[in-house]
Every structure is written in structure tokens, then in C-alpha cells.
């Protein structure tokens, strides 16, 4: 509660009486916001790290280091689907689907 700036009375009166589904939604959103903040902080350090790596000689044709190489993709909300269709999922995995459909 302290992390979000909530007083104990506020938490007891509003959050404590919230329906479970709304409480779970609130918790998911707060966790998402915390992970975005952590990702933003980490991306600053990863940017410096990638710059240092790119300044060193690693041979001809070496791939340039990026922020995503060090910390991966930004966080997503749990409700967001990473793949929208079966065809996109198959393409991502390198699977060829029949043209007429499945």
C-alpha cells in the first residue's frame, strides 16, 4: 500500500470491499505499471551497455547490439494477445499452412 501511496483506511474502505474480479484487474494493472517502470529503467542501462559493446571491435559483419538484445521485449498487459491469428503463429514458428485453410 505504501508503494502506491494509499492510506490504511483507504485500503480498508475501498480496496477491501472491492469485488474479487475488480481487485484482480486492479492488481494486474498495478503489476503491469511496475514492470513498465522497471523496463524503462533497465532500458537506460541497456542502452549504455549496447553503446559500449558497439564501440568495441568485434570483427567484420558483426551484428550491432541493441537494447532488446539485453533486456528483451517491453512488458505486455496480460489481456493482450501476442499472436492474433493461427496463421501469424505458424509463420512465427516457420510452419507452412495449406493455402485453402485448415
Please tell me what DSSP assigns to residue 73.
S
| CA-closest candidate to residue 43, choices 67, 66, 65 | 67
* pLDDT of 6: 74
Contact, 72 vs 43, CB < 8 A? Answer: no
* pLDDT of 86: 66
* pLDDT of 42: 93
64 Cβ contact partners less than 8 Å away, ≥ 6 residues apart: 50, 54
How many angstroms separate the Cα of 44 from the Cα of each of 48, 49, 77?
Answer: 7, 9, 22
* pLDDT of 58: 81
Q: Is the pLDDT of residue 92 over 80?
A: no
pLDDT, one tens digit per residue, over 26-83 is 888 888 888 999 999 999 999 999 999 888 878 888 888 888 888 888 888 876 545 4
| CA-closest candidate to residue 37, choices 75, 85, 81 | 75
Amino acid at each position: 500500500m505504501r508503494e502506491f501511496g494509499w492510506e490504511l483506511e483507504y485500503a480498508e474502505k475501498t480496496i477491501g470491499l472491492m469485488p474479487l474480479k475488480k481487485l484482480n484487474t486492479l492488481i494486474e494493472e498495478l503489476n503491469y505499471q511496475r514492470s513498465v517502470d522497471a523496463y524503462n529503467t533497465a532500458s537506460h542501462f541497456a542502452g549504455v551497455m549496447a553503446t559500449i559493446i558497439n564501440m568495441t571491435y568485434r570483427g567484420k559483419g558483426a551484428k550491432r547490439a541493441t537494447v532488446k538484445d539485453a533486456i528483451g521485449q517491453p512488458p505486455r498487459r496480460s489481456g493482450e494477445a501476442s499472436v492474433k491469428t493461427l496463421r501469424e503463429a505458424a509463420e512465427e514458428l516457420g510452419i507452412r499452412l495449406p493455402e485453402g485453410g485448415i
